[in-house]
Chain A
Amino acid sequence: MSLEPALLSPAVVDLPFREGYVRSIIYVSLYVSGIAVALSTLFSIPVAIVMGFTDFPGKQFVKSVINTGMGFPSVVVGLLVLFVVSNQGPLGSLELIFTKEAMIISQFVLATPPITAISLAAISGVSENVRDAARALGGTRLDVALVVIKEARYGIATAILAGFGRAISEVGSVLIVGGNITSASGISQTRTLTTAIQLEARQGQYDTAMVLGAVLLALVLTVNAVVVRFGDEGSVNR
């Protein structure tokens, strides 16, 4: 990114940032949270479908575990992931500590419970009539599942947004497992918007911290707007 200074947004040129600093931080934030939420979604939706469609002993217990996970403190997750990826830990040989991958792991752990729980609520909320009708028309299990997902799409989109919001706004775990690293040239390796804000505040540079905070807010709003727009498109031809 340092190779393309001309593309630096004019809006940040007069700020006390080094070239590419903010861009690289935004990139790391989106990269880590985006991949973590994508993986969470791939994991959560099937789990929510299975749980929404079947009854099994201990289902309530699993539900309460997932709901508890929604409130799991991010620093505790960071600590646990640190133990796992530290060179002394079970995944130590992979040398993941202080990397984006370690941050993705911890954000995956954080984002999965809300995505699963909210998706499950949305899927459970689809009327029995819909399922029955789908079955009556000779739909296979897959067909029925797809119809239910379609009916529950707003809820599922909300679930993904909630997971993304949790991932991109958390600071505790990425600080512990990521290390808040930039290269000497000021390009972020594992520094996210949240950890950068924390660092700037620590250094008493509140104006810089405010700018980064505004960027983070704008980012979250944009992602929300994009997802909401997708939801609207789905209803245009209703």
Chain B
Amino acid sequence: MVVSMSEQRSTADDVGRSRFSGATSRRSFLKIGAVVGVTGLAGCSQSSGGEQSQQAQAGVSGETLTLTTTTSTYDTGLLDAIHPDFEEMYGVTVDAVAQGTGAALESARNGDSDVVMVHARGLEDEFMRNGYGINRRDLMFNDFVIVGPESDPAGIQGMGSATDALTTIAEAEAAFVSRGDNSGTHTKELNLWEAAGTDPGGDWYQETGTGMGEALNVANQQGAYTLSDRGTFISQRSEIDLTILVQGPIEGGPEILANPYGIMAVNPGVHDNANYDLAMAYIGWITSPGAQNAISEYTMNEEQLFFPEAVSEDPDFQQYVPEGWSSNSSDE
């Protein structure tokens, strides 16, 4: 790239004397291209390490499964911990895209993912009723907790009712941080306000429009209350000063704070490019005793984050259909 510059004497003033050596001029032009080229090549030379090391096997091997899921499963690190098992078993790659539950379902609606793992039963049911999702399974659960600063300005500590706690926060006009992103947690929070018969608003109620981790950070900075899934809270507890003020059902709190996760394949009848075979293989694997065991063994700060519920002796037909659906319903 080091070009001899002996011929490049020309300046604006003496350009008249310079020869029109096309080669020289072109070289200066190439230099600029070279800079960009080097930048690109620097990257290329280290590419293609692990990506395609396993294409030898037949079948689904070498394919990529796109999973859209929620920030609360992704940010806890659970998926990274359990996915290698699936990837090795089938010789495939799982691309996990962390979005809010609403966005995860929307990506699947557009045919941009093959399988969705979310936690908002109402939205999941709508997704199934519209024909986009099939083969839904209950996957695992944890619960929501209401967290806030230790000083607890509204005085909700130990309340047995989540709705009473929210009403108390609203009456005290204590700062409350809402996800505001149409995620599963946000949906749950809105349902709770509705159940409490309170319409949140005013300066004390702040929508961040961000993931759970970020919302916890904002609440932490502002000494505010927020609703969090237990998993994300535990995985982040060492970084923040918030504490659990109202427990969920795992620690004996109200059932309304339960947080069940479901998994669905994208309907190949709607999106024929959906990787249905691999999506079903994934659902089969993650609901298997082995993977369910791995989920229950995943801990953060020595606490279990998720409780598997796919493996059961008893039949649970409601997991396959929208809630309350019955084969006798006339409208189905």
Which A residues have a C-beta under 8 Å from some C-beta of B? 1-4, 20, 23-24, 27-28, 30-31, 33-35, 37-38, 41-42, 86-88, 92-93, 95, 97-98, 126-127, 129-130, 133-134, 136-139, 142-143, 146-147, 149-151, 153, 156-157, 160, 164, 179-187, 189, 201-205, 223, 226-227, 230, 233-234, 236-238
Contact = CB atoms under 8 A, between A and B. Distances in A.
A236 B5 contact: yes
A147 B9 CA distance: 12
Nearest to B6: A237
B26 A153 contact: no
Contacts of B40: 30-31, 34-35, 38
A223 B40 CA distance: 12
A27 B43 contact: yes
Interface in B101-135: 110-112
A139 B39 contact: no
Given A87-B110, A149-B25, A181-B97, A201 B214 contact: yes
Interface residues of B, number: 67
B36 A37 contact: yes
Contacts of B112: 86-87, 97-98
A143 B79 contact: no
Contact of B111 (A88, A133, A137, A150): A88
Of all A-B residue pairs in the complex, the 3 with the closest CB atoms, nearest first, are A184-B83, A87-B111, A31-B43
22 contacts: A1-B49, A2-B49, A3-B50, A20-B49, A27-B47, A31-B47, A129-B12, A130-B15, A133-B16, A147-B20, A181-B96, A183-B50, A183-B87, A183-B94, A202-B210, A202-B213, A203-B235, A203-B236, A230-B32, A230-B35, A233-B2, A234-B5
Nearest to B87: A184
Q: Which of A129, A130, A143, A183 has the most CB of B within 10 A?
A: A183
B330 interface: no
B42 A133 contact: no
Given A95-B273, A143-B25, A183-B50, A133 B15 contact: yes
B2 A149 contact: no
Interface in B69-117: 71, 75, 79-80, 83-84, 87, 93-98, 110-112
A86 B111 contact: yes
B56 interface: no
Per DSSP, chain A at the interface is helix
Nearest to B88: A184
Contacts of A143: 20, 22, 25
Interface in B1-44: 1-3, 5-6, 8-12, 15-16, 18, 20, 22, 25-26, 28-29, 31-33, 35-44
Contacts of A1: 46, 49-50
Contacts of B35: 157, 160, 226-227, 230
Contacts of B184: none
B132 to A, nearest CB: 12
A237 B83 CA distance: 59
B239 interface: yes
Interface in B199-230: 210-211, 213-214, 216-217, 220
A202 B9 contact: no
A202 B46 contact: no
Interface string B228-258: 0000000110011000000000000000000
A234 B36 contact: no
A226 B38 CA distance: 10
> Looking at B49, B83, B97, which has the most chain A CB atoms within 10 Å of its CB?
B49
Contacts of A184: 79-80, 83-84, 87, 94, 96
Contact of A186 (B37, B80, B93, B213): B80
A134 B9 contact: no
A231 to B, nearest CB: 9
Contacts of A35: 40
Contacts of A129: 12, 15
Contacts of B80: 182, 184, 186
Contact of B32 (A93, A97, A98, A160): A160
Given A129-B12, A204-B236, A147 B25 contact: yes
B66 interface: yes
Contact of B95 (A4, A146, A189, A227): A189
A37 B236 contact: no
B28 A153 contact: yes
A179 B95 contact: yes
A35 B42 CA distance: 11
B241 to A, nearest CB: 11
A128 to B, nearest CB: 11
Contact of B239 (A4, A138, A156, A204): A204
A87 B22 contact: no
Given A127-B12, A147-B18, 14 more contacts: A30-B39, A41-B32, A41-B36, A98-B112, A149-B25, A150-B10, A160-B35, A180-B98, A184-B80, A187-B50, A202-B210, A202-B214, A202-B217, A234-B8
Given A2-B49, A41-B32, A160-B35, A134 B271 contact: no
B26 A146 contact: yes
